[in-house]
Structure 1
Amino acid sequence: MTNEIAHDLSPFLRLYKDGRVERLKGTDVVPPSLDPKTGVESKDVVISAETGLSVRLYIPKTAINAPKKLPLLVYFHGGGFCIETAASPTYHNYLNPLVGQANIVAVSVDYRRAPEHPVPVAYDYSWEALKWVSSHVQGQGSSEWLNSHADLENVFFSGDSAGANIANNMAIRVGLSEEKIGIKLRGIILVHPYFWGKELVGEEAHGPEVKAMIDNFWLLACPSSTGGSDDPFINPEKDPNLGRLGCERVLVCIAEKDIFKERGRHYVELVEKSGWGGTVELMEAKGEDHVFHLFNHNCENAIAMLNKIVSFIFFQQKNI
């Protein structure tokens, strides 16, 4: 074992020359539980014993004996493709109130992380999780919660940062794929999406050190990328399939002080010009930074964003 550092991306992680990864954030985990504040119950399910792919399921306890099925949210956690998990307290404590307030079922995907599993592994594992969700369409899947309580004609994808990036790419894959999945994707909710590119967009401005760090973070996650930060996975402007989003509506949430703000705004413009036939909305949180809502659940802007997400899902329910 060597202590020679190959890539130092503090305060997030370090990669050593012997291949060892030291994660400096996002390593804490909490078990699934019945949350007393929200009445939301959760449990972990291993989808594939071979690969270790798993998900954490969430359901309002009041829904267990209810006759009506609930909308399903598939959530992809953030962390630059490299840190955090579905069991992180950051995401567990975010999804409990979201599921409780929206009265939905949620599947939080524990995809494999870079650099041990470089992109596109995160996308491929996320797709496998979606196929597992789809296996419940006829009520014959392995999870009784999804069989009995999830309305697979009323599905949403969401995520923050890298998770929002995954949600976008999964929605495109739904629209493109000949490998049809049986769920009906109604909308995607992209919170502070992790998009990037070699050229500045909008009013974007940042120093060379910041740009180099984000460029390097992406190359660590996706070393096989030939386009670097203009790879279609990370730069929607370079994706010829952006107009094939397999849903009807998109909500993009940005934060005023977030370095990725202009990328989120630019994404909305790109989608509107792509020929896609749906509608896209933009919500900006003034005075806030990247993923602020995960660490300050009860601030005014976090509550407003939660209410917007819930109303976005309820709008879909009313218009089916």
Structure 2
Amino acid sequence: MKKIFFLFSLCLFHTYLFAQNVKRLGLEGNYGFIIPHSQDLTRISQTDPFGFSIHYQNLKTDKKNWENCFCFHYLGLQFSYHNFGNPEIIGSASSLTGTFEPILWKNEKWTFSLLSSIGVSYLNKVYNEVSNPENIFFSAPISFLIYLTPKLEYSIATDWGMQMSFSYNHISNGGQRQPNKGINYPMAGLGLVRYFQNNPLPNYEKEVISKKPIYYLESGFSTQQGQDGREPNISLVFAGIKPLTNINGFGAGLELNKDFSLEVENSRIEALMPAPFISHHFLFGKIDFSQRMAMYIHKPVGYNEYIFYQRYVLNYNIMNQFFMGIGLKAHGHVAEHMDLRMGWKF
């Protein structure tokens, strides 16, 4: 996963050097609350996180970049600091993330966009069996941050804008170390944006999107901690998508997941977990962000009390029908692991 983030950061750095169209810097203050997604987190969740973020972004207005998602979109880097309001137990998170922000609607004064991001967080307080046993949110000082943020911007002047936002943030270590309940904290934001280069957006005609079903094969790979060290966790997906609009689609499929870190009684086949799922897809040209709800048909004895799980997957079409991406598996509000995914559409 670290290699993926490194390569992603290099791509963003290349964008900063050569983008020539719209450049902006934003500063935002944030305030929110923690969701106690299990009973043993209730006591330490009674705090109000606060902090700030600094965001630098570029938007290219040429048609080639527009066709990547059939929309104008910002790519950027964001640094954020969030204090969880409990310095002795939960502490704070300092995070660096890569961002993708498509513009969904715009007129002369108002702009509505949807910011999504993934990156790394440094946590200054983590679980310790002796000195900090109450913090079961996270146990690794370097963890992953994922968030989704609808934004509304009002143009104050040619080079200035005011933004209001609402973000849903999730931090966990992707199952690399336990305990790993993960922390979920929504935050409202208010900030200013300074445009250093602000060219008008041209009008491009959208292509007619085919409504024919799309079928795909997808595989996922990660590792999980087992009794004898880290063991592979492999999944195979066969599914279909039915596009409904230019940016929305619904789908269904079957996922076969085998976690070699799980204990079995007689045979490794016990660790095979088939799960049919339904899915919603945000389709932005070459980008597909899917949210899947799956139900276990079978799972090993003692493995997780949930019948259902979610998998959030961000895929990018590399060439022709081949795509790559990353995924996050979660049970309710609790993240289990992140993985690298690749597949083929036909």
TM (normalized to structure 2)?
Answer: 0.26
- The structure richer in strand per residue is 2
* Bigger Rg, structure 1 or 2: 2
Higher RCO (Cα < 8 Å, 6 or more apart): 1
Pick the structure with more helix per residue: 1
Q: Normalized against structure 1, the TM-score is what? A: 0.27
